[in-house]
Amino acid sequence: RINKLEQILFQLVKDLQTDNESDTKVIVQNQSKIDLGRKEYQLAFELLKDENYETARVSFIKFIRLHQDSDFVDDTKYWLGETYYAQSLFAQALNEFEGVLTEFPNSGKMPESLLKKGFCYYELGEVEKSKQILKSVVNQYPDSSVSRLAVQKLKMIDSLIE
């Protein structure tokens, strides 16, 4: 009977060790998802900051293709939009900003993407649509930097219309 209890105890200890190893693997996998492509993302972002828009754009597109499971994909899509916007490619920029809004509804880049969507519509000549979006930025994100930028843009638009 003691031998049977020892066998059960041995099996429980073994199962516990296996569970701990599984937990460790999950933690490592989650950490690697966070780190997935971090260096590539940072390099592409540096290119954008250096106003090397075409190379940054290619790097962001490559990042999205290679690191679809990365936590940086939403930010990457936003910054890809910024590369287009900086070069007055407003339709392409709009497409990227809308992608952030639809594909990543919990993204930290939601406010900025909505703001830039409003800016793009203005640049594309759709002033009323732009104003509608900018007003929604003010309503959804009051007391924020995006709200202040939206108010500035609305004032600028109104001053041109008058």
First to last CA, the chain: 95
25, pLDDT greater than 50? no
Q: CA–CA separation, 122 vs 119, rounded Å?
A: 5
Q: CA–CA separation, 7 vs 4, rounded Å?
A: 5
57, pLDDT greater than 80? yes
Query: What local confidence, expressed as pLDDT, does residue 18 receive?
Result: 56
Lowest mean pLDDT among 10-24, 75-89, 125-139, 146-160: 10-24
60, pLDDT greater than 60? yes
What pTM was computed for the model?
0.77
